[in-house]
A = this chain, B = another copy of it.
Amino acid sequence: MELLTLPLIISFKKIEVAGKGSLIVGESEKEIPFPVKRVYWVEGALNDLEVRGNHAHKTSVQVVVAMKGAVRIELESKEGETFSFHLKNSDEGLLIPPMYWRKLFLEKNGSCLCFASKEYSEEDYIREYSVFKQ
Which residues in A have some Cβ–Cβ distance to B below 8 Å? 17, 19-28, 32, 36-47, 50-52, 65, 67-68, 90, 106, 111, 113, 115, 119-120
Copies of this chain, count: 2
Which chain B residues lie closer than 8 Å to A28 at the CB level? 36-39, 119
> Besides the contacts A21-B50, A26-B39, A27-B39, what 18 more A-B pairs have beta carbons closer than 8 Å?
A17-B52, A19-B47, A19-B50, A20-B45, A20-B52, A21-B44, A21-B52, A21-B106, A22-B44, A24-B41, A24-B43, A26-B40, A27-B37, A36-B36, A36-B39, A41-B90, A67-B67, A113-B113
A114 CB to nearest chain B CB (Å): 9
Q: How far is the CA of A46 from the CA of B23 in the complex (A)?
A: 13
Which chain B residues lie closer than 8 Å to A25 at the CB level? 38-40, 120
Which chain B residues lie closer than 8 Å to A20 at the CB level? 45-46, 50-52
Between A22, A41, A44, A68, the greatest number of chain B beta carbons within 10 A of the residue's beta carbon is seen for A41
A70 CB to nearest chain B CB (Å): 13
Going nearest first, the 5 A-B pairs with the smallest beta carbon separation are: A21-B44, A25-B40, A21-B45, A68-B68, A20-B50
A119 CB to nearest chain B CB (Å): 6
> Do residues B27 and A41 form an inter-chain contact, with CB atoms below 8 A?
no
